[in-house]
Each structure stands twice: as C-alpha cells, then as structure tokens.
Amino acid sequence: MNGAQALIRTLVSSGVDMCFANPGTSEMHFVAALDAVPDMRAALCLFEGVATGAADGYGRMTGRPAAALLHLGPGLANGLANLHNARRARTPLLTIVGDHATYHKRYDAPLESDIDALAGTVSGWVRRPTRPADLSADAAEAVAAAATPPGGTATLILPADVSWSDGADPAEPIQVRRPCVVPDETVREAADALRGGEPCVVLLGGTGLRQPGLEAASRIAAANPSARLLGETFAARIERGAGRPSLDRLAYLAESATKQLASTRHLILAGTRSPASFFAYPGQPSSLVPGGCQVHVLAAPGDDVPGALAALADLVAPGAKPVPRQLSRPELPDGGLTAQSAAAVIGALLPEGAIVSDEANTSGRWLAGATAGAPPHDWLALTGGAIGQGLPLATGAATACPDRRVLALESDGSAMYTISALWTHAREQLDITTVIFSNSRYAILDLELNRVGATGTGSTGTGSTARAMFDLSKPAIDFAAIAAGMGVPASRASTAAEFATQLRNALAEPGPHLIEALIPPPW
Ligand SMILES: Cc1ncc(C[n+]2csc(CCOP(=O)(O)OP(=O)(O)O)c2C)c(N)n1
Ligand SMILES: [Mg+2]
C-alpha cells in the first residue's frame, strides 16, 4: 500500500481518528487515502488556525490527539498561534505538514520554506521520514510523543513522494507511559508546610483541575484553615459547577494577583508552574511569588497530579470530606445588555454538561461568579494569550463531544481572527452556540495603554491616533450578517431580556447559532 494509506491506518490504530484539515497539492494522496480508511473522520477548515485550534479543543476534551493536516510551511505558519495555545494547554496534538517530494526540494519551488524551523517553535517532536517504509513507525512514534504526559504537539512532515509511493505497511501503536507517581518525600514536604500553620496557597493546574484533583484539594482546605486553594489563571480545562468543589482563579492583572497571594508563606504547586505576571510593566515585579514565600512543587504537569493531591489529603486531612458547590443560579436580569447582565443570563441558562470555550476577554469578568453554581460543566480558557482561539476550540470540543452543548463566549476583536470557524460549525452541524460580546473595541488595550505607562507620550484623548487603534466601530462589524453568510442562524440582542430569549432558543435547537450581544465597552 502507499505511504498515505499506511499512515492513516497507523493513526487510527494508535487512537487518532479525527483530522481537521486544510489541504493542498502536496497532501492529495493523504486526502485520497481518507476514502480507503473510513474510520478516519475529517473536517474541512477554511483557515489553518481553525484546524489547529479545533485539534486543540478535541484533544482537551478526549485526552487523545487529533490530527491537523496543513499545507507546507505557509499552512503551518497560519496555524502556529493556535498551536502555541495548544502547547500552553499541554494538549496532545498531531500536526501533519505535507511537503514537496524529497527530490523536488532542491529546486526551491515557490512554496519551499524551512518547515522544521517553524515546527520547532511549538513541537518537542519533529520528524521528516524520507522512505515509505519508515513512515508508519514514525507516525506511531509521533502519536506517542504527543500523548506522553503531560501532552504536547508532535509534527510529522510528510514529503509528497513518501505519501504516494508504495512499500509502506501500517505500524503497531506504541504504549504511552502513565503520569509519574510523585515520591512520598515530596508529598511529606508539602504536608510539613501545611502543618506548620503559616498561610499556605495550593495552586492547582492541569489535571489537578478535574473533579478527583479538586476533591482532594477541597479536603486539604477543609481540614487546614491556614490553606487556601487557587486555580491557575488560564486553564486548559476545569470541571466546575454544582456538585463539585468551587475554586477561585489567580487573577490576570498582576496587581490583583499580588493581593491574592500577599502574606502567603508557602505556595504548593500542583500541576502548574510558579506564577508570573502576564507581561512586564515598568517598575513592577515579574514573579508573583511574594518575598519570603517558599515554593513547593508537589506535582509537575506531567506527574500524577490528582494522585499527589489525594496522597497529600490522606496525610493532612484524613477524615475530611470535599465541599461541593450547591446548585445556585442568578436571577434572569432586566434592563440593558451589559457584560454583567449577559453573564447573569448565561449563569441562569447554562445547560448541564455544557462545554464553555471562553475567549470573552474583558467581557468575561463576571462569568466565573455567575456560572459557579450552574449545573456541572467544563470550562476551556485561552491558555497562551494568542487570541483567535475560541471559535476553533469550540469546533473541536463539539466534534469530540457530540452529545454535549458547546457555548463559545467570544469577544468581537478575537472572533475576527478565525471567524471562518463558523463555516465549519455549519458544515458539520455542530451544537455550538456562539455569543459575540460586541463592544466594538479592543477594550483590553485601552487599559493596557495606561498600565504600561504609555499615556505620557501624547496618546491620551479619545480623538487620539493611539486610541483609534482600538476602535472597531468604523465600520461596525455586523456579526449576525457574517454568521448568516456562512450558514449559521444568527440574531442580535441589545437588552437582557432579548438575550435571554435568544440564548434559550439557541440552546434548545440542534446545530450552530450565533447571538451578537451588543454591549457597551467596559471603560
Ligand atoms: C495573536 C494575537 N494578536 C494580537 C494580540 C494582542 N491583543 C490582545 S487583546 C487584543 C484585543 C482584544 O479585543 P477583543 O477580543 O475585542 O476583547 P476586548 O478587549 O474588547 O474584551 C489584542 C489585539 C494577541 N493577544 N494575540
Ligand atoms: Mg472587543
């Protein structure tokens, strides 16, 4: 059989059976082989950043890699920002980048570029098999590399002639090692810190944010009054809502995070790294760890984080029970639509088992509080700060979990980066309701302009060239029209009541919907 067929058979037997693709000529034999191996599903994405973000969403929800099929260096480059977000989320993900035939590369044809260099920025594993006989074994290794805890992106560069030539056979899957068990002495060190009675924060991340880890952490906090729990600021996936322990997140703004951590003497890290300010600001510290605070790494992201938390709970909270959040929803609000009233509507209507893709940016300020007591749901955040993640991520999550409702909460500026994801929502008839928080600004940048101290340079007034760089109102972006143009039924809401009616209807109907929530900017 040819390389492409053997490759796809190897992927399927290794557990990779979903491919988000934007192919070109060099990938034609891969595309043709999809007909020969019907167990591999494929979804067409109209921009590579949609394909990579969708593979991220799929991997976050299944724990298994999806493949993103991309076209040479430029295709990979278009997908890099969401591969960066996936790397930060530690999502298992397989990138397959088609390349020129091996013998063609030296002619420096127009699409020739340094794919290895691009792939190296996001992948710990990059390989370019040069013979069909090697391709399947390399593919099995690529899947294993992507799935090895804590998870990451592996890139298989696929020369066109390796894909089209005969002489390939499928390879056996490679067993992936389990997360590392944390040594007893590491757990004891954290237990000593907790028993000392000084103010302690347990900072949870990665797999520590699923129910078993949260329950163990909740036991620890219940039995140790000096201990507080916090979740990392931008988590790949949190299981939250009624029946699960609730968790405050470390704040995005360094000023607020510094207050949250002030007076902490011991910071116990479980599945995350030592916290740092998102950006540097003149005169502000980069590390968020307060002076005099000792950092204890209970579990690194590739470790058995829930196991380490359970072992710690058994030492310092033997009889304690986790404290589940009670079901409580906000009242449906009246009046004008604002980010705050929209959050209350979402909290009031969020369905059980929903998956939320959160790229609401400044409009998301009230969402955590409004949804904390909603029925159980998953929350997926923007992990790497590269905007344009939310709509693709929703694509992948909905593909992975067809029996669950997906809610994409999107700010307007971010939505525009990868807006063509809506077309894939429609083409695949995915159960995704997209809410666009249309504040007609890059609102966060109004704030950041002040925070970095750039306002002393003449860029203050609303009529200034600098402020105009954040204005999305001239011309106004008509998201309802854009969505309708891509086959997604859409509506606009300018009062809280309209928004509630439209959201309720959208969540009750199958297939994709978009609601453009017309809200004022936050400042
Ligand atoms: C890939 C990428 N490009 C640019 C930026 C810089 N950036 C951060 S926030 C932002 C604007 C966000 O505006 P919007 O999505 O409308 O959210 P709002 O601030 O209005 O809530 C930009 C351009 C980024 N973070 N990532
Ligand atoms: Mg905006």
State pLDDT tens for residues 250-299.
999 999 999 999 999 999 999 999 999 999 998 889 999 999 999 999 99
| Encoded tokens for 331 | 């009242």
Query: Which ligand sits nearest to residue 439's alpha carbon?
Result: 2
pLDDT tens, position by position, 30-60: 999 999 999 999 999 999 999 999 999 999 9
| Helix, strand or coil, per DSSP, at residue 408 | strand
pLDDT score of 457: 64
Cα 360 to averaged position of ligand 2 atoms, centre (Å): 8
Q: If you average pLDDT over every residue of the chain, what do you get? A: 97
CA–CA distances in Å: residue 407 to residues 234, 244, 378, 486 = 17, 20, 10, 18
pLDDT tens, position by position, 126-142: 999 999 999 999 999 99
Cα 305 to averaged position of ligand 2 atoms, centre (Å): 36
Which is the closest atom of ligand 1 to the Cα of 387? 26
Residue position matching structure tokens 């470390």: 250
pLDDT tens, position by position, 153-194: 999 999 999 999 999 999 999 999 999 999 999 999 999 999
Which is the closest atom of ligand 1 to the Cα of 472? 16
Question: Cβ distance 48 to 14 under 8 Å?
Answer: no
Query: Which ligand sits nearest to residue 361's alpha carbon?
Result: 1
The residue whose CA has the least distance to atom 18 of ligand 1 is: 443
pLDDT of 458 over the 80 cut: no
Ligand 1 site-directed mutation target among 358, 387, 434, 516, most atoms within 8 Å of CB: 387
pLDDT score of 464: 83
Query: Which ligand sits nearest to residue 415's alpha carbon?
Result: 1
pLDDT tens, position by position, 78-116: 999 999 999 999 999 999 999 999 999 999 999 999 999
| Confidence grade of residue 453 (pLDDT, cut at 50, 70, 90) | confident
Cα 387 to averaged position of ligand 1 atoms, centre (Å): 6
Which is the closest atom of ligand 1 to the Cα of 388? 1
Cα 438 to averaged position of ligand 2 atoms, centre (Å): 6
pLDDT score of 187: 98
Q: Distance from first CA to last CA of the chain, Å, rounded?
A: 62
Cα 448 to averaged position of ligand 1 atoms, centre (Å): 11
Question: Cβ distance 344 to 332 under 8 Å?
Answer: yes
Mean pLDDT of 417-423: 98
pLDDT score of 180: 98
The residue whose CA has the least distance to atom 2 of ligand 1 is: 386
CA–CA distances in Å: residue 87 to residues 55, 295, 345, 389 = 12, 24, 33, 13
Question: Cβ distance 439 to 411 under 8 Å?
Answer: yes
pLDDT of 462 over the 80 cut: no
pLDDT tens, position by position, 362-393: 999 999 999 999 999 999 999 999 999 999 99
pLDDT score of 450: 87
pLDDT score of 460: 59
Give me the percent of the chain exceeding a pLDDT of 70: 98
Question: Cβ distance 244 to 214 under 8 Å?
Answer: yes
Distance, CA of 476 to CA of 523 (rounded, Å)? 19
Mean pLDDT of 312-320: 97
Cα 51 to averaged position of ligand 2 atoms, centre (Å): 24
pLDDT score of 160: 98
- CB-based neighbours (< 5 A) of ligand 2, an ion: 411-413, 439, 441, 443
